[in-house]
Amino acid sequence: MSAPAADQPLVLASASPRRLELLARLGVKPDRVLATDIDESPLKGELPRAHAVRLAAAKARAAAALAPDALILSGDTVVGVGRRILPKAEDEATARQCLALLSGRRHRVFSAIAVLSPDGILREALSETIVRFKRLSAEEMEAYIAGGDWRGKAGGYAIQGAAEGFCQWLSGSHSGVVGLPLYETRRLLRAAGVALG
């Protein structure tokens, strides 16, 4: 098991069980999981890439205010269609709208991570993945919505669930689409002094 340098506790600033599972693939178990409550509304004219980067850093800073002596790892995943930021689907109508937008076309998934040290050094990285969905029939959309896999997910889908069957191809980081790009995460944690194999 790895630990941050100088016995700093590692805090994962996310309530996402998927991020916790992905972090475990690197052999890392955070000392604490600390969900942050920040306003995730896009700023006027904000593009998907900038939105993901801003939110990851904001989550890290919010967690650092509660755990100032810890090394903070945070992340944010944004699904973008062109300049448009797709919401996290909290109801069936939103999930249906997202799936209709994604059906038969390419979209981008921006997964930003931030590592904030107690000394105030912020390390950031961004994974950009292009995903193409098959054209979805009304029956496929309704079956997916009935399964509930979309709830709380950016763009209304989880690539690690049934929606993977809609994915014709993917160029980039699969773990980034799930919610924590492992290559970038490993690189930033090592730069912050976390001993990884």
Q: What is the mean pLDDT of the chain?
A: 94
Q: Note the residue count of the chain.
A: 197
Residue 1 has pLDDT above 60, yes or no: no
Residue 4 has pLDDT above 60, yes or no: no
Write the pLDDT tens digit of every residue in 65-108.
999 999 999 999 999 999 999 999 999 999 999 999 999 999 99
**pLDDT given for residue 135 in this prediction:** 98
Residues paired with residue 79 on neighbouring β-strands, in sequence order: 109
DSSP codes, 4-45: -GGGPPEEE----HHHHHHHHHTT---SEE-------PPPTT
Write the pLDDT tens digit of every residue in 31-75.
999 999 899 999 999 999 999 999 999 999 999 999 999 999 999
Q: Give φ, ψ of 169 to 5 degrees.
A: -160, 165
Average pLDDT of 128-141?
97
Q: Is 76 a catalytic residue?
A: yes
**pLDDT given for residue 3 in this prediction:** 41
What is the share, in percent, of the chain residues with pLDDT greater than 70? 96
Write the pLDDT tens digit of every residue in 115-134.
999 999 999 999 999 999 99
Instruction: Identify the CATH class of 5-191.
Output: alpha beta
Q: Given the residues 76, 91, 119, 149, select the one marked as catalytic.
A: 76
Bigger pLDDT: 119 vs 8:
119
Residue 5 has pLDDT above 80, yes or no: no
Predicted structure pTM score: 0.93
